[in-house]
């Protein structure tokens, strides 16, 4: 009796699972159909251009080659990593990383912690006001700050004149570094603040209640409970800030016309690649510069994620 029952079950199993497998395969086919438009756009506008740029970075084309593309292997990359202009631009963006990223993270963290402790309508309005600069296109933001910084028609002269002082030239060579740091910090702090604030709101309130019962004050709760519990979000925004700063381009490029001589065309590696391609028509070497920068960004991000794998939850 028992053997007959087991045989019956084993015989019925394939017929029971067959419809399920058919439904699953049908869903998979529809899944591919839905993903296909995005995959096509992704391939046409990202994968293919990247592949073509990589191919160009391994070739040279110009008068010396009689207008033909000649394979040069890694020669362009050797030239890029020994190019003093590229290395100087790289050192400049590294200085931006060392200054700009900590400033952005600290300001965003303090704002998020303050807003997390408030539950009034004023806090909602403040949260929106801090986030609004991120919604402004980077070009528009840079143009606006170029007007505010301008020594000719900006308001700085009038504001400093109220106290009998002369306004500094924010677009001079000595001050352009701080002026750019201010623009980028103003624009991105709101975005980072929202990420941190969302992470703070996901923490179970009972954790705070237990800390209060144990005698912890507000500062101890913030530094010893909230910040450690959102470490993975902090790592994520540091990676975002690191990648964005190493690819610094829009703000200095827009302010070039206003900051006479303070921002050369090779101020950052991305600007150098842009000028090499569209001012000097050296598209092959410009592709090499872009891939070299992309390689360094990848290595820097990987090293940071590896060093912070415990805090980010990757370990």
Range of the domain at 234: 80-309
What is the arithmetic mean of pLDDT over 30-55? 92
Rounded distance, CA 268 to CA 125, Å? 36
pLDDT category at 182 given cuts 50, 70, 90 is: very high
Model pLDDT for residues 254-296, shown as the tens digit of each residue:
998 888 788 999 999 999 999 999 998 899 999 999 999 999 9
Tokens of 74: 């890694």
Rounded distance, CA 84 to CA 86, Å? 5
Q: Is residue 11 part of a domain?
A: no
- Same-domain pairing of 65 and 106: no
pLDDT category at 152 given cuts 50, 70, 90 is: confident
Whether the predicted pLDDT of 1 surpasses 50: no
Rounded distance, CA 146 to CA 255, Å? 6
Whether the predicted pLDDT of 89 surpasses 50: yes
pTM for the whole thing? 0.82
Q: Say if residues 254 and 139 touch (Cβ distance below 8 Å).
A: yes
Choose the final residue of a domain: 51, 71, 91.
71
- What is the reported pLDDT for 313? 65
Model pLDDT for residues 202-217, shown as the tens digit of each residue:
999 899 889 889 888 8
- Same-domain pairing of 31 and 156: no
- Same-domain pairing of 103 and 52: no
């Amino acid at each position: 009796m028992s053997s007959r029952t087991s045989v019956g079950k084993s015989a019925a199993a394939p017929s029971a699972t067959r419809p399920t497998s058919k439904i699953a395969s049908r869903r998979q086919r529809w899944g591919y159909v839905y993903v296909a438009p995005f995959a096509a756009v992704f391939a046409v506008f990202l994968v293919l251009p990247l592949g073509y740029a990589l191919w160009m970075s391994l070739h040279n084309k110009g008068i010396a080659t009689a207008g033909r593309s000649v394979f040069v292997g890694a020669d362009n990359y050797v030239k890029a990593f020994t190019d003093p202009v590229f290395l100087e631009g790289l050192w400049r963006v590294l200085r931006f990383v060392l200054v700009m990223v900590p400033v952005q993270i600290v300001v965003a963290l303090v704002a998020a912690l303050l807003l997390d402790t408030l539950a009034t309508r004023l806090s909602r309005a403040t949260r929106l006001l801090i986030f609004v600069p991120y919604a402004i296109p980077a070009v528009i933001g840079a143009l606006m700050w170029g007007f505010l910084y301008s020594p000719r028609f900006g308001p700085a002269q009038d504001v400093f004149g109220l106290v009998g002082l002369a306004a500094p030239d924010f677009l001079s060579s000595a001050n352009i570094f701080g002026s750019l740091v201010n623009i980028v910090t103003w624009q991105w702090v709101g975005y980072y603040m929202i990420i941190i604030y969302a992470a703070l709101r996901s923490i179970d309130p009972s954790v705070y209640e237990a800390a209060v019962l144990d005698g912890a004050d507000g500062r101890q709760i913030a530094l010893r409970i909230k910040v450690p519990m959102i470490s993975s979000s902090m790592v994520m925004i540091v990676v975002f800030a690191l990648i964005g700063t190493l690819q610094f381009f829009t703000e200095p490029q827009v302010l070039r016309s206003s900051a006479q001589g303070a921002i050369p065309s090779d101020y950052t590696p991305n600007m150098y690649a842009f000028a090499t391609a569209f001012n000097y028509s050296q598209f092959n070497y410009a592709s090499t510069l872009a891939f070299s920068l992309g390689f360094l960004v990848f290595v820097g991000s990987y090293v940071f994620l590896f060093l912070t794998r415990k805090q980010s939850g990757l370990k």
